[in-house]
Structure 1
Amino acid sequence: MAETSYAGWQYAGAGRQTAHEFVRENLRAAILRGELPGGARLIQTDLAAQLQVSTTPVREALRDLAAEGLITLDRHRGGVVRGLNWEDMQEILAIRRALEPLAVELAIRTVTDEDLDRAEKLCDRMEQESEPGPWVELNQRFHAIFHDATNRRLAPMLKGLQDATGSYVAQAQHWKPAAQKKANTQHRALLRAARKRDAEAALKIQLEHIGLPIETAAEKRGRVSRPAPNKPA
């Protein structure tokens, strides 16, 4: 595995973020943008030296990212960015398809007009963004608005599943740039359904939307996208 450079990262020690939050958010963003690909090694001592922090906030940040499923921990040195394979994507898609009916029902009922206005501004920015990495970050923020409108137990589950596929979404757009345009169209359709409080239409759009990355990968691999079968207990 290649060692990773953190050139250009430096914690100034000011503002609202703690060192722990700064390290975690920068690493998460780099993973979701695809700048830290699967297999990239995250060295505690290297990160601490580059950011001019102790190893404690770095260790805490890596634990958070491991809990989110973005990395696996190396007991001795730090962590390794997880690479998603076909089976991972199938399993995540199957879970999301099971959760989305409840998520959409709750979100459509409680999301506010102000929330939808914020989501629309993110749509505007996504339509102006051509780079997959920054687009993925905006996409995460867009969907977080709807996740947060569900409930306190479901929202973090949805966020974790969304984050776990962020790097794959970015990769899918490298494979097929037209996928980004299609996703933008789906976002607009989801917004229209939400403003009308049409849960049935919103669910149909969302189920198509969450399947887009794996469908793009299926085209590249020449495979058919199907939900993962339930395993016997």
Structure 2
Amino acid sequence: MVIPGGRFVKELVFFGARLKERHLSARDNSHGELAAIFETERIYHLAPPVGSAFLDACRLYLNQPLLNDYNLLPSPTGRVDLIKIATVVLLLLNLTVLFGMIGAKEYQIREAMEQVDSRIKAVQPLVKEVNALQGQVKALEDKSQTIAQFQNPDLIDLLAKLTSELPQHSYLDLIRLDKDQKAINIMGYTDDIGELTTKLQVFGEVKLKSTSRRKNKTYFHLETSLP
């Protein structure tokens, strides 16, 4: 390769991609002279004279191969590295998609939690009703157990006898079983308390607990023991 300029002309000899020899010449030798010295017709010149057999050295700046030969000079500076730009753009796109997926997942979780909270609030009144019903059932079970603790008196027969033995113008207001005393408390209204206590002796010992005046009648409270 011939590089003119200054007081001397540089003549560089390459072997492949490596610099093999370097010569300085006081004048710009012709193509024929250099071909005879270096034994090759393939000689490049940075400013080849018009009509000479020199090859234009500017062609070596191309990145594309020249026939079977390749550019041995470094690429010119100032070119944009498209591969790096594409890599950065793809990385940013991937990060954007990743953050978008994380945000969408977080939104789905928050929405699901809000739905669960709303359903819990909707069910809470039903839970309170169920608890109230369970309390009522428990109270009924307790009452049933209380009745079962007695010696299973025939209450229907007892009511039938009370109805038949009550004096005229007498009626019952309340019958209460006392599990602790194993007794039956009878309360009601009558016009003649003496006649009432006499007739109820058929049930056994009858105790007069109290009397009072209500509705122009005698309100009585009697107690008799269970058999």
Q: TM-score, normalised by structure 2?
A: 0.18
Structure with the higher fraction of residues in helix conformation: 1
Structure with the higher fraction of residues in strand conformation: 2
- Larger gyration radius, structure 1 or structure 2: 2
Structure with the larger RCO, 1 or 2 (CA within 8 Å, 6+ apart): 1
Q: TM-score, normalised by structure 1?
A: 0.17
